[in-house]
Amino acid sequence: MRYKIFALAGSTALALASGVQAQQTHVGETGCDPDQAERVFDVSLPLGAKSQQGIGVLKFGEELAATSNCRLLIRPHYDNALGAEREVVEGMSFGIIDAGITSTGPMGGFVDSFMLFDLPYVFTGYEHAHGFLDSEHGQKLADELKANANVKILAWMENGFRHNTNNVRPLNSPADLEGIDHRTQESRVQVETWDALGVNPSPMAWTEVFTALQQGVMDSQENPLATIYDVKFYDVQDYLNITQHVYSPAPLMMSGSLFDSLSEDDQQLLLDAAQVALPVQRQASQDLEAKYMTELEKLGMTVTKPDLAPFREKVQPVIQKWTPTVGEELVKAAQSFQN
């Protein structure tokens, strides 16, 4: 079966069309001929090829090409070329975008339990988060997304722990957040979290964030260090604060309808390739975090490592409020999980 472009409406159609022209099919060092492939999957990424996300997706593509004997290839589309995160998740749900990697920010709108990843200070470190996601709890979440949004999670890749940057002052305590205009993801839980911490929170699409900071519409944002570096937030933000307030997965996903349309053998090839790429991507995430902590300081950002206990205390009412919605059993399982 030769690859064909779906007819889409509005800006998503234009983004997909221009993205297909701008990006090349990824064959890595496999020597595959894209013209001979049975299927080329378009994959959306929010960041570039050298990001932690790009490294993982390209490894996935190389493994898929190798194990399918060049029948199945991917074509990556970087820097939101196919749309913002919510549009990409919706596109996969409707079957008009093949696959993509996004944060879990938009997914609480589809499945309440995904708001778990918006709750602050649930996960204490990478081993804690990875163990939970690789357990039956991660599989149950993936099953819920497939059932409710028609989106199949292939692997629980990650953005990493999120940290605050701002252009006002370093954060030594929650009081230092007072009055700051802060961009949040499009999540009610995150808005209330930052409201509890004292900022003026405003949800905003990812594609608008850099310009908003550059123009002074927003003072502050939060992301993993590798993302902060990749997007060059150091050009528009002076202060980096290691708040580690949320662990952010970035699952590699595929349209549920597309996945179900494939043979069982090809489905397994996709799942196996994603699992081979998973530890590569996670390691890249952590390696880049360590590297960019130093690099961002060299680039002029003031790095502050505040005591996190007062921040945790401030957000307890948010956790208590949203736990019944997310699921008390799930929240308790995440908080108390041990490998």
The predicted-structure confidence for 236-245, as pLDDT tens digits, reads as follows 999 999 999 9
Do 26 and 110 lie in one domain? The reply is yes
- Provide the residue range defining the domain that includes 138: 10-160+249-289
Q: Is residue 4 part of a domain?
A: no
What one-letter code names the amino acid at 127?
E
Structure token digits, residue 240: 């980096």
Given a contact cutoff of 8 angstroms between Cβ atoms, the answer to whether 269 and 72 are in contact is yes
The answer on 231 and 219 residing in a single domain is yes
Cβ atoms 194, 204 nearer than 8 A: no
Residue whose structure tokens are 């938009």: 106
Q: Cα 192 vs. chain centroid, distance in angstroms?
A: 20
Specify whether the CB–CB gap between 249 and 159 falls below 8 A: yes
Q: What is the mean pLDDT of residues 198-208?
A: 92
Residues of the chain with pLDDT > 70: what percent? Answer: 91
Residue 102 lies in a domain: yes
Share of the chain above pLDDT 90, in %: 84
End-to-end CA distance of the chain: 43
Residue among 308, 208, 250, 228 at smallest CA distance from 105: 250
Mean pLDDT of the chain: 91
Q: Running DSSP on this structure, what letter comes out for residue 73?
A: E
Total count of domains within the chain: 2
Per-residue model confidence as pLDDT tens digits over 219-269: 999 999 988 998 999 999 999 999 999 999 999 999 999 999 999 999 999
Which residues is 223 bridged to in the sheet? Answer: 163
One domain, residues 265 and 222: no
Per-residue pLDDT at 28: 57
Separation between Cα atoms, residue 280 and residue 183, nearest integer Å? 30
- Is the model's pLDDT at 3 over the cut of 80? no
CATH of the domain at 223: 3.40.190.170
**What are the residues whose beta carbons fall under 8 Å from the beta carbon of 197, sequence distance 6 or more?**
174, 177, 311, 314, 315
